[in-house]
Amino acid sequence: MGMLARMREDIESVMRRDPAAQSGFQVLLTTPGLHAVWVHRLNHRLWRRGWRLTARVLSQMARFWTGIEIHPGALLGRRLLIDHGMGVVIGETTIVGDDVTLYQGVTLGGTGSATGSAKRHPTLCNGVFVGNNANVLGNITVGENSRVGAGSVVLRDVPPNSTVVGVPAHIVYRNGHRVLITDPHEIKDPLSDALIALAARVERLETMSGCAEESSTSGGAFAAEDEEREAYRQEREAGERERLAASAWVSMGEGI
């Protein structure tokens, strides 16, 4: 596909996916995400042909102009939509599939100290949606048609057709169905150990409560205490009846 055809395809994609787009001419002039992607295509060719300093300088100029930083070594698919785009960072070994949507503040970054051509940035498959200020870090894969919630930090692979949220991110929807977390180990959170300890304590308390109820119904220590309280209550009631009878006799004698 030629350059002009690719540009036309990009504009049509924005028109379909961005509710704020009112005309192709407006998209052409006022969409920094498109400008950044178009400049990147030139920079990527220069990078692959060995003109790496030139590619880096041009990418920094595009960053200054659009607020979007895309390393010339990144591999971007067709119809990439970077909506608003300010603060988006795409690392050197990132691979982005077709029909991907990125919002402002998204970082497709690396972890560790690997250098050169070693794969240290994420791979986003076709149809992935990444919400604003989300971070997808490391050599991981986000499966097709998956969604990353705003502000999430993704550190592990995401299966296709999934929705992940949180810091660190965990799956909440998969294949259109809600995913319920029953094991705290499934949440790779710094507070996971505290949650696990709390769950174990609740389980122990429930066990103790069950034993106490069973003991009470089977005539154990609690049953003996109930019998003592009942005997004391009956003794008090008998004493009260005797006192009332005595007071009634005295009042009749005083009347005579």
- Residue-wise pLDDT tens digits, 94-110: 999 999 999 999 999 98
pLDDT at residue number 188: 63
CATH number of the domain at 3-180, please?
Answer: 2.160.10.10
pLDDT at residue number 80: 93
pLDDT at residue number 145: 94
What are the residue ranges spanned by the domains of the chain? 3-180, 192-255
Query: 100-121 burial, b for 16+ CB within 10 Å, e for fewer?
Result: bbbbbbbbbbbeeeeeeeeebb
pLDDT at residue number 6: 87
pLDDT at residue number 255: 46
Q: What parts of the chain have a pLDDT lower than 70?
A: 1, 112-117, 181-192, 211-225, 245-256
pLDDT at residue number 183: 63
pLDDT at residue number 69: 94
pLDDT at residue number 215: 55
